[in-house]
Structure 1
Amino acid sequence: MAKSTRNSLVLAKVQTTAGTDPVPAAGANAILVRNVNATPLSAEFVERNLIRPYMGNSGQIATTRYGQLEFEVELAGSGEAGTAPAFGPLLRACGFAETTVADTSVTYTPVSTGMELLALRYYLDGLFHNLLDARGTVSFDITAKAIPFMRFRLIGAYQPITDAAMPTGVDYSAFQKPLAANRANTPTWALGAYTGCLQSLTLDIANQLAWRELIGCNGAHISDRRPAGNVLMELPSIAQLNWPQMVLSAQDVPLSITHGVTPGNIVELEMPTAQLMNPSYSDQDGTAMLGLDTAFQPDQGNDEVAITFR
Structure 2
Amino acid sequence: MARFFRNLAILAKNEATYGVDAVPTGAANAMQMVNARLEPLVGEDVNRDLLLPYMGHQGVILVGNYARLSGEVEIAGSGAAGTAPAYGPLLRACAMQEVVAAGLDVQYTSISKLQEAATIYFNADGVRHILLGARGTFTLNLTPRQIPRFSFTMTGLLGTITDTALPAVTLAAWQKPVPVSKANTTFSLHGHAGACEGVTMDIGNQIEPRFLIGSESIEHVDRQMTGSAIMEAVSLATKNWFQIAQDHTKGVLAASHGTVAGNIVEFAAPAVQVGRPSLGETQRILNNTLPLFYTPTAAGNDEFKITVK
Report the TM-score, using the length of structure 1 for normalisation: 0.97
Secondary structure, aligned partner of 2:277: strand
Question: Which residue number corresponds to residue 113 of structure 2?
Answer: 113
Question: Which residue number corresponds to residue 8 of structure 1?
Answer: 8
Whether 1:233 aligns to 2:225 is no
> In terms of mean alpha carbon deviation, does 201-210 or 57-66 score higher?
57-66
Q: How does 1:130-169 map to 2 (within 5 A)?
A: 130-168=130-168
Alpha-carbon deviation of 1:176?
0.5
Question: Which residue number corresponds to residue 85 of structure 1?
Answer: 85
Alpha-carbon deviation of 1:305?
0.1
Alpha-carbon deviation of 1:225?
0.7
Once the two structures are superposed, what CA deviation does each residue of 1:178-234 show, in whole Å capped at 9, x if it has no partner? 010101111x21111211001111100010011100001111111101100010111
* Structure 1 Cα separation of the partners of residues 125 and 19 of structure 2: 26
Q: How does 1:68-107 map to 2 (within 5 A)?
A: 68-107=68-107
Q: Paired residues, what number?
A: 308
* Structure 2 Cα separation of the partners of residues 138 and 302 of structure 1: 17
* Structure 2 Cα separation of the partners of residues 45 and 212 of structure 1: 16
Question: Which residue number corresponds to residue 271 of structure 1?
Answer: 269
Q: One-letter code of the match for 2:80?
A: E
Q: One-letter code of the match for 2:188?
A: A
- 1:137/1:303 Cα in 2 relative to 1: closer, same or farther (>3 Å)? same
* Structure 2 Cα separation of the partners of residues 265 and 222 of structure 1: 30
The equivalent position to 2:200 in structure 1, one of 199, 202, 212, is 202
Check conservation: 2:22, 2:118, Cα contact below 8 A: no
Question: Which residue number corresponds to residue 32 of structure 2?
Answer: 32
Q: One-letter code of the match for 2:300?
A: G
Alpha-carbon deviation of 1:270?
0.5
Alpha-carbon deviation of 1:273?
0.9
Once the two structures are superposed, what CA deviation does each residue of 1:53-82 show, in whole Å capped at 9, x if it has no partner? 333334322221111111100000101111
Alpha-carbon deviation of 1:281?
2.0
* Structure 2 Cα separation of the partners of residues 244 and 18 of structure 1: 47
Once the two structures are superposed, what CA deviation does each residue of 1:77-98 show, in whole Å capped at 9, x if it has no partner? 1011111101101000000101
Whether 1:295 aligns to 2:293 is yes
Alpha-carbon deviation of 1:161?
1.6
* Structure 2 Cα separation of the partners of residues 278 and 7 of structure 1: 45
Alpha-carbon deviation of 1:282?
2.1
Report the TM-score, using the length of structure 2 for normalisation: 0.97
Secondary structure, aligned partner of 2:276: strand
Q: One-letter code of the match for 2:288?
A: L
* Structure 2 Cα separation of the partners of residues 49 and 286 of structure 1: 60
Alpha-carbon deviation of 1:49?
2.0
Q: One-letter code of the match for 1:296?
A: Y
Once the two structures are superposed, what CA deviation does each residue of 1:89-116 show, in whole Å capped at 9, x if it has no partner? 1000000101111111100001000000
Check conservation: 2:19, 2:217, Cα contact below 8 A: no
Secondary structure, aligned partner of 1:19: coil
Q: One-letter code of the match for 2:52?
A: R
* Structure 2 Cα separation of the partners of residues 97 and 297 of structure 1: 18
Secondary structure, aligned partner of 2:270: strand
* Structure 2 Cα separation of the partners of residues 172 and 237 of structure 1: 48
Question: Which residue number corresponds to residue 172 of structure 1?
Answer: 171
> In terms of mean alpha carbon deviation, does 111-120 or 11-20 score higher?
11-20
Q: One-letter code of the match for 2:31?
A: I
Alpha-carbon deviation of 1:45?
2.2
Question: Which residue number corresponds to residue 246 of structure 1?
Answer: 244
Question: Which residue number corresponds to residue 259 of structure 2?
Answer: 261
Check conservation: 2:14, 2:117, Cα contact below 8 A: yes
Question: Which residue number corresponds to residue 304 of structure 1?
Answer: 303
Q: Which 5+ residue runs of structure 1 have no aligned equivalent?
A: none
Question: Which residue number corresponds to residue 281 of structure 1?
Answer: 279
* Structure 2 Cα separation of the partners of residues 298 and 210 of structure 1: 23
Q: Which 5+ residue runs of structure 2 have no aligned equivalent?
A: none
Once the two structures are superposed, what CA deviation does each residue of 1:133-183 show, in whole Å capped at 9, x if it has no partner? 110001111111101100000011112321121112x11000110010101
* Structure 2 Cα separation of the partners of residues 302 and 66 of structure 1: 29
